[in-house]
């Protein structure tokens, strides 16, 4: 029996400790009364051993005495039997053992496996159908299922064979259900995706999986839209597979379809091949929409809006000297005009000719007229709106977006809430507006074609401001197109306009827990998070704690010379001087460095693999089958070494060694290395680290304190998530690798985000996406990951958030009691928290928090939904409060 099987069946692979003996093999009064009915000490001790072992192992042992000697001694001690060796006589009569087993089953209500086998098969089938978990996980939980129902465990091989058989049958059922949705024509179309069309080098499936090169350009987005139209044209999502098959099972098939070679998929039987292709195409529909909208966001952010604003700023800088000089000339003339008020008497008005003589004495009339023309050309009238010159710059790039605007609303189906509905309606009619051909000179079109209500603010001047049509009967088509596109992009980022076929740009409000689903999970989630249905007691407790904290901190500040609060309520801390490293620390560092063995990294990886078998088991084939590769751990270690050192396969590969052949390493990396397998492999390492050198690990902490921070990298190739950020990347583009560590290990969880977005939008996702271990109780971050909204979400999710904030003088405190006296902190605590707003929003707050906790909605989507252009909504303000 392996250690894993021994653990699953409750059998010790090693001698149990005294604490385990007292916890597991303790006999209560009822047990002792039953045992005392036996005659002879050997009968009592043997009966007691059978009783405690079936209770622990879940089954009767073939040899009742096949237990550690410490267990025999402990049971004998409880029964006051001085000589435990007398138990050897217990097995002299075989029938006695079976009679005792029958009585234990009767008294304690233990069931034979055969009586619950059919029910167990149904449970395993349901578990496999819903989750697709591996046989090991289902086997372990099946043992728990049997123990909960007081059923005797069968042999390990019997249960493992049952789980494997039922799981395989469930998988075949999954293939049959998906295959049954397809018509003959659809089967032919799916199979054609694996073939290489004439004149092409790859199959359509491989071309779709790769997608267009992620460049921020109009032609690239048009290519992406063409792919969306191709994939959606197959109509696979309309078959309703997601209503018949659990989403997790579809996702597993799609993962395999996205990574396996077309030739490999082609070799599968009809059921598996067609089911895989159906799930993959359904996944590609959402992925292609995601990629297209990501490219649109990249185009708008980096190529249009940013560059237009930069060009407008440069134009302002270029015009500024001329405009300043012309304004100075006009100022001289105006000053001379004001001086003319003092000429003559009170009743005598100065003549115009005299005023002009005075003006021309300081500036010529020609220079004054030229200055006036320059100012009129560059400065709007005093009653005009803000010119927003960057919008004017956008109009000159109409050719960049004209093609995609004609396709976008036709190819992708969008929805909208009340705020985004007018813009979406105008966007749907935009292709017809752009296709209009009339007698007006380009780019003018009749005003009756457009939706005038969506043209607001500075865009009005650009859309309606043509000098030849001051009555507004004609409008600028290019300005109107950009007006709509700019608003469409803004509403899309707020999720006020959304694409339901997408996974990233869909409506998060529609995904929140609601109705019967919310009512079903509400009690368990609220209990787990410690949140009440009525918020008043919780809010009162928070108000009391906040008041005490202010009074205690204010009292200490009066005696603390390192802190100063100015008249504006800003807190200033005295700078901390660096402490030089003491000689003892330098000596300790040198000694510990000398103690570290000098070994190659691949050797370290192989040794760790020998310690923890689960590390190798985490790397499963993308096909889902059992690997038949020999020396697979060696190949995995080689791939890990090549990737971690970023040296490629050449220094690692070794000709003549099958496990290290370059082709073998390439195959293993492509089929066994995926984000989910790396995440699973990280979990046992986290557990091993927590138990390694227990005293040292516990001195560091219990793993309940975590920190989240970002590392930024320049991305030298086109990528949708690579964005410009001059502060971090200079003139190049990059991304942020958001990483979580705790006080026992690094690399607990990570997420790649764009190089421009604030870390706080993704921090909660990283915390809930840890690769192993429990959720932390305390989270630390820097200012980049902080926001009041994030603070509120983590507090409601039962995680204490302790950010280390920079620029402390710029921060302000918040209070609940307006009239409370906090001494030196009175001015600092100038923010007001309205508890009535929190109470009004409490039901919605609970839904949002529960949706994040259960994984129904990503925290990033929720945070996006709770704010508008950096400002929180009413619900967001309540959560922040």
Calculate what percentage of the chain has a pLDDT beyond 90: 24
> Which long-range contacts (C-beta less than 8 Å, at least 24 apart) are formed by 138-144?
138/163, 138/167, 139/8, 139/163, 140/8, 143/8, 143/9, 143/10, 143/58
Q: Closest by alpha carbon to 654, among 668, 680, 682, 635?
A: 635
CB 735 within 8 A of CB 718: no
| Phi, psi (degrees; rounded to nearest 5) at 20 | -65, -40
The pair of structure tokens assigned to 373 is 């023309």
Decide which of 4 and 143 is more confident. Answer: 143
Dist CA 631 CA 359 (whole Å):
97
Position 696 scores a pLDDT of 64
Calculate what percentage of the chain has a pLDDT beyond 70: 88
CB 748 within 8 A of CB 773: yes
- What is the reported pTM? 0.71
Position 384 scores a pLDDT of 46
CB-based contacts of 672: which residues, under 8 Å, 6+ apart? 619, 620, 621, 622, 627, 636, 639
Q: Tell me which H or E stretch contains 414.
A: strand 414-416
Average pLDDT value for residue range 840-859: 89
CB-based contacts of 845: which residues, under 8 Å, 6+ apart? 796, 838, 875, 878, 879
Q: Tell me which H or E stretch contains 447.
A: none
Tell me: the pLDDT tens digits for 737-765? 888 887 776 666 778 888 776 777 788 88
Confidence band for 178, pLDDT divided at 50, 70 and 90: very high
CB 355 within 8 A of CB 337: yes
Average pLDDT value for residue range 531-545: 92
β 571-573/705-714 pair status = unpaired
Enter the DSSP assignment of 261: -
Tell me: the pLDDT tens digits for 403-423? 999 999 999 999 998 889 999
Confidence band for 681, pLDDT divided at 50, 70 and 90: confident
Position 319 scores a pLDDT of 57
Confidence band for 720, pLDDT divided at 50, 70 and 90: confident
CA 147 to chain centre: 36
The pair of structure tokens assigned to 572 is 């200033």
Q: Closest by alpha carbon to 825, among 560, 539, 541, 543?
A: 560
CB 857 within 8 A of CB 791: no
Position 277 scores a pLDDT of 94
Q: Which of 48-62, 185-199, 852-866 has the lowest mean pLDDT?
A: 48-62
The string of DSSP codes covering 615-680 is HHHT---TTSS----TTHHHHHHHHHHHHHHT--STTT--TT-GGG-HHHHHHHHHHH--HHHHHH
Q: Which of 217-221, 413-417, 561-565, 799-803 has the lowest mean pLDDT?
A: 561-565
User: What are the counts of helices (DSSP H) followed by strands (DSSP E) for the chain?
Assistant: 40, 16
The pair of structure tokens assigned to 248 is 């997790």
Average pLDDT value for residue range 526-531: 87
For tokens 């048009």, name the residue.
222
Position 540 scores a pLDDT of 93
Residue 2: is its pLDDT beyond 60? no
Give whole-number Cα distances, 360 to 331, 335, 365, in Å.
Answer: 13, 12, 6
Average pLDDT value for residue range 653-664: 90
Position 76 scores a pLDDT of 84
CB-based contacts of 725: which residues, under 8 Å, 6+ apart? 712, 733, 734, 755, 756
Q: Which of 305-314, 335-344, 413-422, 583-592 has the lowest mean pLDDT?
A: 335-344
Q: Which of 234-238, 258-262, 445-449, 552-556 has the lowest mean pLDDT?
A: 258-262
| Phi, psi (degrees; rounded to nearest 5) at 475 | -130, 160
Position 394 scores a pLDDT of 83
Position 6 scores a pLDDT of 47
The pair of structure tokens assigned to 191 is 């199979």
Peptide bond into 542 cis (omega under 30): no
User: Strands (DSSP E) along 807-877, which ranges?
Assistant: 814-815, 831-832, 867-868, 871-872
Dist CA 777 CA 706 (whole Å):
8
Tell me: the pLDDT tens digits for 453-470? 999 888 888 888 877 787
Position 385 scores a pLDDT of 43
Give whole-number Cα distances, 74 to 16, 36, 62, 424, in Å.
Answer: 11, 17, 21, 76
Decide which of 142 and 364 is more confident. Answer: 142
Tell me: the pLDDT tens digits for 323-350? 666 676 667 777 666 666 666 555 666 6
């Amino acid at each position: 029996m392996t250690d894993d099987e021994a653990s699953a069946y409750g059998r010790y692979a090693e001698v149990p400790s005294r604490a385990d003996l007292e916890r597991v093999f303790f006999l209560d009064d009822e047990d002792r009364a039953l045992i005392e009915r036996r005659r002879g000490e050997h009968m009592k001790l043997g009966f007691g051993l059978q009783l405690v072992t079936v209770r622990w192992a879940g089954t009767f042992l073939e040899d009742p005495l096949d237990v550690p000697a410490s267990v025999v001694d402990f049971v004998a001690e409880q029964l006051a039997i001085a000589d435990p060796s007398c138990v050897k006589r217990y097995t002299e009569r075989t029938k006695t053992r079976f009679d005792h087993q029958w009585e234990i089953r009767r008294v304690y209500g233990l069931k034979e496996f055969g009586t619950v086998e059919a029910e167990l098969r149904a449970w395993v089938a349901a578990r496999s159908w819903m989750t697709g978990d591996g046989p090991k996980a289902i086997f372990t939980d099946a043992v728990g299922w049997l123990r909960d129902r007081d059923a005797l465990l069968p042999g390990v091989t019997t249960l493992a064979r049952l789980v494997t058989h039922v799981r395989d049958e469930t998988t075949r059922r999954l293939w049959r259900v998906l295959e049954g949705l397809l018509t003959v024509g659809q089967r032919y179309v799916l199979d054609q995706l694996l073939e290489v069309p004439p004149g092409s080098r790859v199959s359509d499936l491989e071309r779709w999986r790769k997608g267009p090169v992620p460049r921020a350009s109009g032609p690239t987005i048009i290519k992406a839209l063409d792919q969306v139209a191709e994939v959606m044209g197959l109509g696979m999502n309309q078959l309703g597979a997601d209503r018949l098959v659990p989403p997790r099972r579809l996702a597993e098939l799609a993962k395999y379809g996205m990574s396996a070679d077309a030739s490999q998929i082609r070799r599968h039987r009809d059921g598996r091949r067609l089911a895989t292709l159906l799930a993959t195409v359904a996944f590609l529909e959402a992925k292609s929409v995601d990629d297209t909208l990501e490219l649109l966001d990249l185009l708008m952010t980096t190529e249009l809006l940013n560059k237009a604003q930069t060009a407008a700023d440069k134009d302002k800088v270029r015009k500024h000297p001329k405009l300043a000089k012309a304004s100075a000339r006009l100022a001289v003339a105006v000053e001379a005009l004001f001086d003319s008020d003092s000429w003559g008497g009170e009743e005598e008005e100065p003549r115009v000719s005299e005023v002009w003589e005075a003006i021309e004495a300081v500036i010529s009339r020609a220079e004054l007229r030229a200055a006036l023309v320059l100012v009129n050309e560059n400065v709007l009238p005093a009653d005009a709106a803000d010119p927003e010159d960057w919008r004017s710059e956008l109009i000159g790039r109409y050719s960049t977006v004209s093609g995609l605007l004609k396709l976008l609303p036709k190819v992708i189906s969008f929805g909208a809430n009340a705020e985004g509905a007018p813009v979406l309606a105008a966007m749907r009619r935009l292709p017809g507006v752009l296709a209009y051909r009339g007698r007006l000179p380009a780019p003018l079109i009749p005003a009756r074609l457009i939706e005038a209500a969506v043209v607001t603010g500075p865009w009005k001047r650009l859309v309606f401001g043509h000098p030849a049509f001051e009555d507004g009967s004609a409008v600028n088509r290019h300005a109107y197109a950009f007006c709509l596109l700019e608003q469409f992009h803004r509403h899309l980022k707020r999720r006020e306009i959304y694409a339901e076929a997408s996974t990233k740009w869909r409506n998060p409000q529609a995904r929140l827990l609601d109705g019967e689903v919310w009512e079903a999970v509400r009690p368990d989630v609220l209990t787990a998070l410690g949140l009440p249905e009525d918020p008043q007691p919780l809010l009162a407790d928070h108000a009391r704690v906040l008041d005490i904290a202010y009074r205690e901190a204010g009292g200490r500040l009066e005696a603390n010379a390192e802190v100063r609060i100015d008249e504006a309520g800003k807190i200033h801390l005295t700078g901390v001087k660096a402490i030089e490293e003491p000689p003892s620390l330098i000596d300790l560092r040198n000694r510990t460095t000398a103690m570290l063995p000098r070994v190659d990294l691949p050797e370290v990886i192989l040794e760790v693999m020998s310690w923890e078998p689960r590390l190798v088991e985490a790397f499963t084939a993308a096909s889902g089958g059992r690997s038949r590769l020999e020396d697979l751990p060696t190949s995995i270690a080689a791939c890990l070494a090549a990737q971690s050192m970023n040296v490629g396969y050449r220094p690692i590969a070794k000709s003549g060694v099958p496990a290290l052949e370059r082709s073998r390493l390439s195959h293993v990396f492509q089929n066994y290395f995926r984000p989910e397998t790396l995440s699973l492999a990280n979990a046992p390492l986290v557990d091993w680290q927590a138990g390694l050198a227990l005293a040292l690990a516990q001195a560091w902490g219990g793993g309940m304190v975590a920190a989240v921070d970002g590392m930024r990298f320049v991305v030298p190739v086109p990528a949708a998530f690579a964005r410009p950020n001059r502060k971090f990347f200079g003139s190049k583009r990059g991304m942020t690798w958001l990483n979580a560590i705790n006080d026992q290990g690094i690399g607990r969880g990570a997420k790649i985000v764009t190089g421009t977005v604030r870390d706080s939008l993704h921090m909660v996702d990283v915390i809930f996406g840890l690769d192993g271990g429990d959720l932390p109780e305390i989270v630390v971050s820097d200012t980049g990951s902080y926001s009041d909204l994030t603070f509120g979400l983590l507090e409601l999710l039962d995680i204490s958030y302790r950010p280390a904030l920079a620029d402390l003088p710029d921060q302000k405190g918040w209070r609940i009691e307006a009239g409370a006296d906090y001494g030196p902190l009175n001015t600092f605590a100038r923010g007001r928290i309205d508890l009535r707003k929190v109470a009004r929003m409490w039901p919605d707050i609970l839904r949002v928090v529960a949706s994040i906790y259960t994984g129904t909605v990503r925290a990033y989507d929720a945070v996006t939904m709770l704010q508008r252009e950096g400002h929180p909504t009413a619900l967001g303000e309540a959560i922040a409060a």
